Amino acid sequence: MLGQVPALVIPYRIPSVFYPELDRICDQDTLSTQIPGPRKGILVQFLHHSKLITREEAIISLELADLTRSDLSGANLTGADLSHSNLNLADLYDADLSRADLYRSVLGGEQLAKAKTAIGARTPDGKTMTQELWRIFRENPWEFPPSTDGT
């Protein structure tokens, strides 16, 4: 899938990671308006693989990015900073969201339940998804965010 990045980058005039203006051009406006939904997933995976959107040292902010209908199925997004982004209708099937930052993101419980894992992730309401919460959540995905009181 990452082999498709040149086809994604060139038509939209997004420079390679070696250009200093990447963080200015490849922002939430680019993802929101210039790239079709299915291609957004390819770009997000590329940015994560290039360590540009990691939770600890994000070089590019996806805050307020519109990732609606993005195909993130099977993506390794461990530690990705997806806070405040719109993940409505994004395909998260088998995605690894462990330690990802999903704080205040637009995300449905049924979507997240399809992920491979989200252990250690920060949920949209700011909680940390523990192994126990993940187990409870997978059993009851309609209860989102997961309850910490066991009800």
When divided into structural domains, the chain yields a total of 1
Q: Bridge partners of 81?
A: 101
Structural domain that includes position 83: 26-139
**What confidence score (pLDDT) does residue 50 get?**
83
Q: What pLDDT shows up at residue 26?
A: 52
- 98, 39, 48: which is closest to 71 by C-alpha? 39
Which run of H or E residues covers position 9?
Answer: helix 5-9
* Closest C-alpha to 95, from 137, 48, 50, 58: 48
Residue 88 is assigned to a structural domain of this protein: yes
Q: 86-145, pLDDT tens digit by residue?
A: 999 999 999 999 999 999 999 988 889 999 999 999 999 999 999 998 998 888 876 665
Q: What is the arithmetic mean of pLDDT over 71-77? A: 90
**Rounded-to-integer distance, Cα 140 and Cα 144, Å:** 8
In a domain, 149, yes or no: no
Structural domain contains residue 74: yes
Q: What is the pLDDT of residues 4-54, one digit of tens each?
A: 444 434 333 344 444 445 544 454 455 555 676 678 888 888 888 888 887
**Residue 87, both tokens:** 């993940």
What region, left, alpha or beta, does residue 5 occupy, with left being phi > 0 and alpha being psi -120 to 50 degrees? alpha
Instruction: Compute CA distances 145 → 31, 45, 84, 127, 130, whole Å.
Output: 26, 25, 15, 8, 12
Q: Is residue 129 part of a domain?
A: yes
The two three-digit tokens of residue 128, written as one number: 């940390």
Residue 144 is assigned to a structural domain of this protein: no
Classify residue 147: in a domain, yes or no.
no
Residue 77: CATH number of its domain: 2.160.20
Whether 41 is covered by a domain: the verdict is yes
Residue 86 placed within a domain: yes
Cα(44)–Cα(49) distance, rounded to whole angstroms?
9
